[in-house]
């Protein structure tokens, strides 16, 4: 399926292989990258990170922790969203 690479700004801090149905936060954990979580259901926004490249499937309706403005800036919720293939994630949220 591909690899997810994790960055802090421009610095590559880890990468891991995608396995079926793993949310981004679990892929990050395998890569040795910590993404903070709280509710793990998309309500609080604690796990907000930025999609630099690649594709994520957004749920419909959007969870409360995400809105259209955040999505325009690449915002994704790592606790409940899965990559659709290889992608690059910046752990610095789009705020």
pLDDT at 20 over 90: no
| Within-domain flag for 85 | yes
pTM of the model: 0.93
* Rounded Cα distance, 55 and 74, in Å: 10
Q: Mean of the per-residue pLDDT values for the chain? A: 93
pLDDT tens by residue, 43-84? 999 999 999 999 998 888 899 999 999 999 999 999 999 999
Across 33-44, b (16+ Cβ under 10 Å) vs e yields: bebebebeebeb
**Range 8-35 average pLDDT:** 95
Domain interval for residue 39 = 3-90
Q: Structural domain tally of the chain? A: 1
Q: Given this model, what pLDDT does residue 15 score?
A: 98
In the numeric block, which tokens belong to residue 19? 């396995």
* Rounded Cα distance, 92 and 75, in Å: 10
**Range 19-24 average pLDDT:** 89
CATH at residue 32: 3.10.20.30
| Within-domain flag for 95 | no
């Amino acid at each position: 399926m591909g690899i997810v690479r994790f960055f802090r700004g421009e610095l590559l801090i880890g990468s891991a292989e995608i396995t079926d149905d793993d949310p981004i936060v679990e892929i990050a954990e395998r890569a040795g990258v910590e993404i903070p979580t709280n509710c793990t259901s998309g309500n609080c926004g604690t796990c907000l990170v930025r999609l630099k490249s690649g594709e994520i499937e957004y749920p419909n309706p959007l969870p409360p922790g995400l809105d259209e403005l955040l999505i325009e800036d690449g915002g994704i919720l790592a606790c409940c969203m899965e990559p659709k293939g290889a992608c690059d994630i910046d752990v610095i949220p789009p705020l």
